[in-house]
Structure 1
Amino acid sequence: MKKVLYRHLFSKVLGLSLLLFSISSYAQEEAAAEVVAEASGGDAAKGKQLFNQNCAACHSLDRKMTGPALANVEARLSEDEGLDKEWLYEWIKNSPGMIKSGDAYANKIYAEYNQAAMTAFPTLSNADVDDILAYTAAPPPAPAAAATTTGDASGGAESEGGVSNEIILGALALVFGLLIIMLILVNKTLRRIAEANGVVLEREKAEKHTPIWKAFVQNQFLVLVTSIFLLLASGYFAYGWMMQVGVDQGYAPVQPIHYSHKIHAGDNKIECKYCHSSARVSKTSGIPSLNVCMNCHKSIYEYKGNPEGPSAEDIANGYTNEFYTGEIKKLYKAVGWDEENQQYTGETQPVAWVRVHNLPDFAYFNHSQHVAVAGIECQTCHGPVEEMEIMEQFAPLTMGWCINCHRETNVKMEGNEYYEAIHAELSKKYGVENLTAAMMGGLECGKCHY
């Protein structure tokens, strides 16, 4: 019984010490926030949230990114350029308008950052801007090396800011250490009393024979940690599984009439766009009409294969000369071709081709834009089709895969009249010789989703 009381005492003392530490830390943070709020007229905590939502994509506090560093931006503009907060209000809400109006500093920033106007934020109120400025004016954490400079510097810090954080933490650590020593001494005293009464020894002896599973169940902390771990692990695997929904990379369905890209595009070097001619002028590449097949197969009525004969792998998979000849006969039956009389009978049968590549309805992809305008090879997205006996989906065709291609692939400009004018303008804007699709708006949502 006494041991149980001791445990309660230990828990209360430990909780009290942690509470005191939390209160002291919170008080210091609140004091710092109040100082910043009084200086700028805004709430730095709200400003941090607004900054992350609206500004962090292009700006950092302490280094130049797409835009300039924003630490103490209000004070710097006031001292260096003589600009007040009203100028900042107008600039943040309508920067393109200020540039067109001829504002000197607005045009200076516009020219310095590659003539790329900052996004306007008309929905931000003056109070929101004050909160953001309060966050940018918040003092950065003192570097660790500052405490080891000179004795005068440390003395000055104590005189200006009162008691330093190091002294407060040191005092709390000392108090916590004294509590630990005190509790150890109390523990020893209680054990001696319990041993004299013969209570604890019997309980400890019984606890030694407690099954592991029972000890685990009785330990609420371990049960809680294990439950959290299992929930997180389950969420991780569930997320991974759900992220694969609709991703059919490697999908290779069996078609009603076998078509070997390896023979046609590989061995016979047939151009992809001979069969998929609509890829040059249309959104889709299209399924070739069987009449396109008959352009050749009116004369090619059997497959003779290589002079050396089929390979051992082809024979194992059933890809013999007789197999391919049988597939040609299926083609004749589908188009109604009378092989003996060399004429069409008019008795056709539809072929239920199985689609391999299938984008969602909300995703827009234009083959002509990529094939005819950008000059992208079919193998970039569809893989080495000239080596595929059965056509399969080579790429994941996910949004991330498309975006990475737009960011990393340089647009071909040589001999491409379509891009001559736009290349000249964008080269001035970005100051580069090579352009990617991302620089030309290839990351805009409306380009692919409509």
Structure 2
Amino acid sequence: MKEGKYRDQLAKVLGFSLLLILFFSQSVIAQEDAAVEQSDITEVTEGSGAGDAVKGKTLFNQNCAACHALDRKMTGPALANVESRLADDEGLDKAWLYAWIKNSPGMIKSGDAYANKIYNEYNQAAMTAFPTLSDADIDDILAYTAAPVAAPAAAATVVTDAGSDAKSSGISNELILGALALVFALLVFMLFSVNKTLKRVMASNGIDVEKEFGNRTPIWKAFAKNQFLVLVTSILLLLTAGYFAYGWMMQVGVDQGYQPIQPIHYSHKIHAGDNKIECKYCHSSARVSKTSGIPSLNVCMNCHKSIYEYKGNPEGPSREDLANGYTNEFYTGEIKKLYKAVGWDEENQKYTGESQPIEWIRIHNLPDFAYFNHSQHVSVAGLECQTCHGPVEEMEIMYQYSSLTMGWCVNCHRETNVKVEGNEYYEKIHAELSKKYGVENLTAAQMGGLECGKCHY
């Protein structure tokens, strides 16, 4: 009866522990979802006027954000409350804004005083005209510019606080681990209790526990006396040790999975994934050169002259990003590192000439005796970068995806068909091989791609 009683207690403890774990996990998830939802709600605050600030934000990001920000000077002036400022300071009404936005060069040529003032102030670079924007679209944009600028920052703060070690949520990882430790301690206690109860039951039934189990030969002694089992086990251990030793030695010099931390955090997931930037826009020399090259900081500044802060994915940060500290403030801080390295003065929108070199850490590095030409594979063979480098559009931190061993390259040359269409050189080789050997699909291996001198010179 006692044994059954303890079993019931053990079942109750396990059930209660599982309920605790589920409760804690659901509480954390619910609070993180609430934080993200709150950020989405407060991201855009509707402004005054007839326009729709929510639609205006979309139109602003599509048409204006490349040159303007709400709260700071960029290529063009800050646009926060631009309608009321122009009305109060210059006496200009909304009709002037309609005309300026739709045809700024025409306003300058017409001799409009304020249009020419802006034109001369900003290096005599006329603003792009937007004749396709309707008056209603402009009303929406103006409504967005009239909205409080601080609202998105407050939303970002809510998300950041929710993701930084769960300090403000009331449920921390330490508390969850403590609950799991308590469950484990209870399980150990119950096992000892059940063992003690079973021994007591056996003793009450006249069973001598020591006599029943104490005189048995230990299993290791029985194993040692069986020479056949010892021989077979020794052979298996030697073979297993040899297998793992060979595998370890074959990995010498193979850096698959190598993932160094760079001096400036660069997210391929954001650039190549979320923003769909083509790999060869940054690594342009991959088309024409042996190496893919490290992009110069000027390439980065083509975009980051205007993109001075990270405003996040429209769908909100993921729990994984929040857990790793990849918040909007983190990415914005990395952009500031770029500005410092290239010598960019944000306030005056110009270069200072005081640049600093960035010591990037190389990830993919073939031995000196191995020859590889990017242009041959990218421009001639038409291979995608992901063929060798893996799904870079999903990588927050870049790492070496493939082994880049000789066997890996050889297998690719054997299995990948060469694109002969539109290439007279390959078409001629294919025709000769087809005539002589009946080759249907042409591979690099059939063209001598397995010869030692192709890669080792």
Query: Given the two structures, how large is their TM-score scaled by the length of structure 1?
Result: 0.50
Larger radius of gyration: 1
Query: Given the two structures, how large is their TM-score scaled by the length of structure 2?
Result: 0.49
